[in-house]
Chains A and B, each alone.
Chain A
Amino acid sequence: MEILMCIVAGMLFAAAVYLMLSKSLLRIIIGTGLLSHGTHLMLLTMGGLKTGTVPVLGEHAASYTDPIPQALILTAIVISFGVTAIFLVIAYRAYQDLGTDNMDQLRGSEADD
């Protein structure tokens, strides 16, 4: 399963990178969203999958799933949410003020020659 999950995460990364290389700002933001999904899945995979039961002591199981990656991912989810939210609003404002979300048009002015 872990090998498969590595491949899935790699696929998410590839899709994310492909989107980030596109012209549309929206697609870039979608790309970052996919990138963080891929990262979270990768984090979880590296901690080992299904090695035990849910990490809650009430279960009285013989073994539990590693709780540390889960805590890390929880932090990462919240932070990436904050970043995505502000990124979206910046894109929204840029769209409003500049009237485009085409990254080829969103360039600094040419240096004077």
Chain B
Amino acid sequence: MSLVHWAILAPFILAIFVPFFRKKAATIHTGWFVLILPVVLFVSFLQYLPVTMNNNSITHSAAWIPSLGIDFSVYIDGLSLLFILLITGIGSLVVLYSIYYLSKTKESLQHFYVYLLMFMGAMLGVVLSDNVITLYMFWELTSISSFLLIAYWFDRDRSRYGALKSMLITVFGGLMMLGGFLVLSIMGGTFSIRELAVQAPDLYHHPLFLLAMILILLGAFTKSAQFPFYIWLPDAMEAPTPVSAYLHSATMVKAGIYLVARFSPIFAFSSYWFWIVSAVGLFTMIWASFNAVKQTDLKGILAYSTVSQLGLIMGLLGAGSAALYFDSLDDNLYTAAVIAAIFHLINHATFKGSLFMVVGIIDHETGTRDIRRLGGLMSLMPVTFTLSVIGAFSMAGLPPFNGFLSKEMFFLSMVQLSELNLFNLETWGIFFPVLAWIGSVFTFIYSMIIVFTVFTGKFQPEKLEKKPHEAPAGMLVSPIILAVLVIVFGLFPNLLSYSLIQPAAAAIVPSIIPSGEQLDVNIYFWHGITAELLMTIAVVLVGIILYTFLPKWVGLYNYFPGKVTLNNLYDASLYTVERGSNSITKSYMSGFIRSYLVYIFAFFIALLGFTLWAKDAFRYDASNTSPIGYYEIGLLVVLCVATATILMAKSRLTSIISLGAVGYSVSLFFVIFRAPDLALTQLVIETVSTALFLLCFYHLPKLSRHEEKMSFQIGNALIAAGVGITVTLIGITAHSTKLFSSINEYYIENTYKKAGGENMVNVILVDFRGFDTLFEIAVLSVAALGIYALIKLRLEKGDDSVNENK
């Protein structure tokens, strides 16, 4: 266990103590105790920057289940360090923000911070793990803690609905991913991602390669809310705003991005990877940005915007994977896509985090997030307004913010993608920049909605529950820090290029970098008049026009069939599955014991009959049988007549007497077949049983006694005949194929010599196999006690249960 291991475990350990802080130091907001940890982690992980900047990495391994090859091994390279700094950095800011957001007295803070710390630790585990099984474990922990955080206000219906939905979808993806991991590790023979990456070219030719890829991508797409799995994210907005800011914009939803980036060196040798990842990403981007415009809830807009931006990053990662495919490419164009993806990942975390916090402030200070009720807050909340302008303009891709740079790089990559004739893209390639451009226009529109409908226009105090005013300073600290970062990264992007972006890109496309060299990552503001700049200008112009006339055309959204949405599909399929399984269960779990017996017997017949037939097992061999005598024939007739009488009998008494007749003829069979002890026992027991039958049933009151003849039922008769025939056939087969002789010689020889008895049956019962007898005695005693208890013990019924029965 190294310090890095302890860094992953530290949040879990601190989570244990959170309830203690909450109880013992109730006057201090619990968040202050929690805040220390992410700050310390952030600062201590900064020391790894010099290591990763030189494209070196650090590995620590700790044994977990060594016999299965499952280790708790951690691995720090540029990619994981980038994510760690995001998780701990934004984690610190979110904890700080939540201290002011959540009331010390009204909320159950211990739950909040325990879940949040669990999530933080799990997320650190996801990005640091080198072992796929460990990665999966932490992955599911993020799902679980996200589930708990979404349903933090568990008395609200919508929260529980959103939590369940996100749980179902992300756990579905997680399980698929586990399958992919297992397939992959079977292919490669190791659980270690690094060792798998080494064998990547061999894995490509493995027949299971595509299966593993699709399963792992399912995990990534569900977690990162890609189409069509994005539907959980808008419903997850029922969580407290710090949670939305942390999990559902900056960290957890990027776990899928991380996964795609991490596995790019393994899978990007296939063109499927390029197609699936970039197509799904771009489609998600345009679809979600299109849907974001019609939202009326601020968090709804941000949720769709998050989906859209994640799609953008995913699309860039897909495009960047072509760099691995065409390693002969010397102009490094595709690595530009990877660099853009990483840069936008950082940018998105900063501006989306601050936007969520801003929305939380608006919600906190006005009591609503509905844009139809908000307006004209600019003069009342100037700081919040400034922050939202910075965040939203960066999201829209306007200079001088960092979003502008990453959007330019995005356009650049897409344009290059269309120009280069890769994967026979000549006809389809044009779609990449066109789709990207349309998505950006919608992004521009909803960014403007966030700023202008909320802060400009008419102030409507009558629609607000509270009198709006500026947020307390503590609440503003975190978004201010993020907004400052937005501007700093925008103005001085090269602060990041060699410290974070270059090492991360090197981790995603390792083979493209000549050893000992570094990628050329230079992000400039001004490239001259290029295609992407013209595209941005067009985005702004078209966006402004569309935004101005938004009320004129927003009605168009109503023309889209409202019923046919993915949410309705999800709800309907859940409903159908629930109803369907209910009706299936009801159809066979009828409550009648007869039905269950029919299933059991039918299965018995089918299974044994099928085996007899399929194995051609039936044998008939009458050579080794004993002769048939007259006594036996006579007894057989008696037995058959008695059995038939039971079946035909009208009254119970007749059937009980006939059962006695069967029993006595069985004991006579025992006499004929030389089993005196059996005959004795059978006689006695049959007598007692018959007496019991008579006692029980003859003296009962004549309620609704079925004295009439048992009605004949053809189905029952068929099943009964089937069972009888099966038993007979198996009996004959078994008798006809005696493979070895009995061990009875030993008993016959040693009954007197060793046990000192002459009656072999009795000696076997009490000497050779005495244990059976002991427990048979136990059975009888239990039966006797049970009967006594049944008759003696009468618990008084409560009045309720009596009424229920009537």
Pick from B656, B696, B727, B751: contact of A89, CB under 8 Å: B696
Contact-residue size bin, chain B (C-beta under 8 Å from the other chain): 35 or more
Interface string of B568-592 (1 = CB under 8 A from A): 0000000000000000001000011
Q: A10-B731, A57-B752 are in contact. Are A64 and B787 (CB under 8 A)?
A: no
- Give the chain B neighbours of A95 by CB distance below 8 A: 696-697, 700
Interface stretch, picked from B203-211, B299-307, B376-384, B673-681, is B673-681
- Give the chain A neighbours of B700 by CB distance below 8 A: 92, 95-96
- Give the chain A neighbours of B758 by CB distance below 8 A: 56-58
Interface string of B624-640 (1 = CB under 8 A from A): 01111000100010011
Contact-residue size bin, chain A (C-beta under 8 Å from the other chain): 35 or more
Pick from A34, A71, A108: contact of B761, CB under 8 Å: A71
- Give the chain A neighbours of B640 by CB distance below 8 A: 8, 11
- Give the chain A neighbours of B674 by CB distance below 8 A: 50, 52-55, 65
> How long is the Cα–Cα vector from A81 to B782 in the complex, in angstroms?
12
- Give the chain A neighbours of B713 by CB distance below 8 A: 21
- Give the chain B neighbours of A107 by CB distance below 8 A: 591-592
User: Is the C-beta of B594 less than 8 angstroms from some C-beta in chain A?
Assistant: yes
Please name the residue on chain A nearest to B601 by beta carbon: A17
- Give the chain B neighbours of A73 by CB distance below 8 A: 675, 678
Cβ B720 vs Cβ A15 within 8 A: yes
User: Is the C-beta of B725 less than 8 angstroms from some C-beta in chain A?
Assistant: yes
Cβ A50 vs Cβ B760 within 8 A: no
CB B737 to nearest CB in A, in angstroms, measures 11
CB B776 to nearest CB in A, in angstroms, measures 5
Pick from B628, B688, B724, B747: contact of A4, CB under 8 Å: B628
User: Is the C-beta of B47 less than 8 angstroms from some C-beta in chain A?
Assistant: no
User: Is the C-beta of B693 less than 8 angstroms from some C-beta in chain A?
Assistant: yes
- Give the chain A neighbours of B643 by CB distance below 8 A: 11-12, 15, 34
Interface stretch, picked from B37-45, B179-187, B663-671, is B663-671
CB A98 to nearest CB in B, in angstroms, measures 8
CB B793 to nearest CB in A, in angstroms, measures 10
- Give the chain A neighbours of B706 by CB distance below 8 A: 23-24, 101-102
What secondary structure prevails in chain B residues at the interface with A? helix
User: Is the C-beta of B515 less than 8 angstroms from some C-beta in chain A?
Assistant: no
- Give the chain A neighbours of B625 by CB distance below 8 A: 1-3, 49
Q: A11-B640, A86-B786 are in contact. Are A46 and B689 (CB under 8 A)?
A: no
Cβ B728 vs Cβ A7 within 8 A: yes
> How long is the Cα–Cα vector from A77 to B747 in the complex, in angstroms?
22
User: Is the C-beta of B759 less than 8 angstroms from some C-beta in chain A?
Assistant: yes
Pick from A3, A15, A71: contact of B735, CB under 8 Å: A3
- Give the chain B neighbours of A103 by CB distance below 8 A: 592-594
- Give the chain A neighbours of B685 by CB distance below 8 A: 77-78, 81
> How long is the Cα–Cα vector from A40 to B686 in the complex, in angstroms?
13
Q: A3-B735, A40-B666 are in contact. Are A30 and B656 (CB under 8 A)?
A: yes
- Give the chain B neighbours of A108 by CB distance below 8 A: 591
Q: A18-B717, A58-B758, A86-B786 are in contact. Are A46 and B735 (CB under 8 A)?
A: yes
> How long is the Cα–Cα vector from A7 to B748 in the complex, in angstroms?
30
Interface string of A19-30 (1 = CB under 8 A from B): 111111011011
Cβ B748 vs Cβ A11 within 8 A: no
User: Is the C-beta of B171 less than 8 angstroms from some C-beta in chain A?
Assistant: no
Q: A57-B760, A65-B674, A83-B783 are in contact. Are A71 and B769 (CB under 8 A)?
A: yes
User: Is the C-beta of B53 less than 8 angstroms from some C-beta in chain A?
Assistant: no
CB A107 to nearest CB in B, in angstroms, measures 4
Cβ A66 vs Cβ B742 within 8 A: yes
- Give the chain A neighbours of B627 by CB distance below 8 A: 1, 50
27 contacts between A and B (CB under 8 A): A3-B620, A3-B735, A11-B724, A12-B724, A13-B727, A14-B725, A15-B643, A15-B720, A17-B720, A18-B647, A18-B720, A21-B719, A30-B646, A40-B666, A49-B673, A52-B674, A67-B748, A68-B747, A70-B678, A77-B678, A78-B776, A78-B779, A81-B780, A89-B696, A89-B787, A100-B704, A108-B591
Known: A15-B646, A93-B790, A107-B592. 16 other contacts (CB 8 A): A9-B727, A10-B724, A13-B727, A17-B719, A17-B723, A20-B597, A30-B693, A55-B675, A68-B747, A70-B677, A77-B685, A82-B783, A85-B783, A92-B696, A102-B706, A107-B591
What residues make up the interface of A, taking CB atoms closer than 8 Å to B?
1-4, 6-24, 26-27, 29-30, 33-34, 37-38, 40-42, 44-58, 64-68, 70-71, 73-75, 77-79, 81-86, 88-93, 95-96, 99-104, 106-108, 110-111
What residues make up the interface of B, taking CB atoms closer than 8 Å to A?
586, 591-594, 597-598, 601, 620, 622, 625-628, 632, 636, 639-640, 643, 646-647, 652, 655-656, 659, 662-663, 666, 669-670, 672-678, 681-682, 685, 688-689, 692-693, 696-697, 700, 703-704, 706, 710, 713, 716-717, 719-721, 723-729, 731-732, 734-735, 742-744, 747-748, 751-752, 758-761, 764-765, 769, 772-773, 776, 779-780, 782-784, 786-787, 790-791
